Amino acid sequence: MTPEEQLAETVRVEGARVLATLIRTLGSLQRAEDAVQDAAVAALQAWPRDGIPADPRAWLAVTARHKAYDVLRREAARPGKELAAAGGAALVAPDLAPEVLDMVEPESVVRDDLLRLMFTCCHPALAREAQVALALRTLAGLDAGAIARGFLVPEATMAKRLTRARQKIAQARIPYRVPPDAELPARLASVLAVVHLIATESHAPSAGEHLVRVDLEAEAVRLARLLNELMPGEPEVLALLALLLLTAARRPARTDAAGDPVPLAGQDRSVWDQAAIAEASALLAEAVRRSGGVAGPYQLQAHLSACHSTAPSYAGTDWDRVVGLYDLLLSLSANPAVALNRAVAVTERDGPAAGLAALDAITGLARWHLWHAARAEALRRLGDTGQARDALRQALALAPTAPERRLLARRLAEMTSH
């Protein structure tokens, strides 16, 4: 990282913490975002000249509060009609008397505000894609352009999504608070789903693909870490962080030099990040201890991922345990993608005939390339090259990305030459 990037990163990370508190004191997400944005611009001008202050967050917090106060003072001087139009979104009277402007919030207050921000961004009254966008905008400090690149949507689409989400929060009065205990499990599930989605649905950038690298998988790990700090000992939070770390640990092996995906069976296990796997294992063990024998969906997924992370080889994986974990996961909620992965594990445990039967028992996946690819593999092992080729061709026709198509085309070529 260059010094400039380091500076921008400090502003981005600390800005989120400043924002969390400012939303509460201003009662408006939009006003708080504007003020933090102004403070960030001021920081990027002042810090290279004067040096990074000893407490960057305090500097940003005080500067943002002054910026917000300036805006409110200007608005107060304007005629009533204009004020109503501009300030209709403000929920609580701004607590910005001059003597509190230079106050620095204690860490415990900032933590509470960050948790409020997490739950507000992931409020069920917002669409999932809006939750994801808001979380990345506010908690990760990414701008609309960066989020748009991460999800391969036009920047204008992402900007509109963020604007609508802010309006919904202001107009419907989505409260800025951590939900009461009775609602917490359901609301926490929404927060976990958003963080998980950021890791799984984002587009992993390959080197040189974008001018600015947007590493949303790393952002998801950071958000999961933050959540684990804010809600220590929560079993599903521990499990989600473990799951994300286990997935990230395979990153060096997940793609080849051309950026094409490498399936688990073909990955070079020697380049997996063992430190991350060790950290994840400890987190998962704590999740098990704290969950009282009732494993949630993220714990089951983390166990599954850990099965692979600790196996000596693909063939040496404990497939019986893998199938059992998929059975438990399916008992929580019927999900064709999980059923597909289970069928692949059945192929490894019981052979291709059993695997093919399990695959054919799943309905509703005929439009999914991975189902056809899994069928092709089971058929190939059964020696039915003709049907295997047909299945691969169908997978090829349905595969959504170029790297996946290249992988399937290679397999098809290998099968044809044999």
Partner 1 sequence: MVMALYAALLYMPEGSDWMTPEVRAEHNVFGAAATEVIAGAAALYPTGSATTITVAGGPGGDVMVTDGPYAEAKEILIGLYLLEAADLDEAIGWAARIPTAWRGKVELRPVLPIGHRPF
What are the residues binding partner 1 (CB under 8 A)? 88, 123, 125, 171-175, 179, 183
CA-based nearest residue to 204, from 213, 195, 194: 213
Contact, 339 vs 362, CB < 8 A?
yes
- Looking at beta carbons only, is 86 or 415 nearer to partner 1? 86
**What's the N-to-C CA distance of the chain in angstroms?**
48
Least distance to partner 1, CB of residue 26, Å: 16
Least distance to partner 1, CB of residue 198, Å: 24
Least distance to partner 1, CB of residue 123, Å: 8
CA–CA distances in Å: residue 383 to residues 360, 387, 396, 418: 17, 9, 20, 11
- Looking at beta carbons only, is 84 or 258 nearer to partner 1? 84
Contact, 57 vs 47, CB < 8 A?
no
Residue type, 235: P
- Looking at beta carbons only, is 123 or 380 nearer to partner 1? 123
Least distance to partner 1, CB of residue 188, Å: 15
- Looking at beta carbons only, is 174 or 245 nearer to partner 1? 174
Least distance to partner 1, CB of residue 160, Å: 20
Least distance to partner 1, CB of residue 177, Å: 8
- Looking at beta carbons only, is 23 or 283 nearer to partner 1? 23
In this structure, what are the phi and psi dihedrals at residue 191, rounded to the nearest 5 degrees? -65, -45
CA distance 340 to 358: 8
- Looking at beta carbons only, is 73 or 173 nearer to partner 1? 173
CA distance 134 to 235: 25
In this structure, what are the phi and psi dihedrals at residue 211, rounded to the nearest 5 degrees? -60, -45
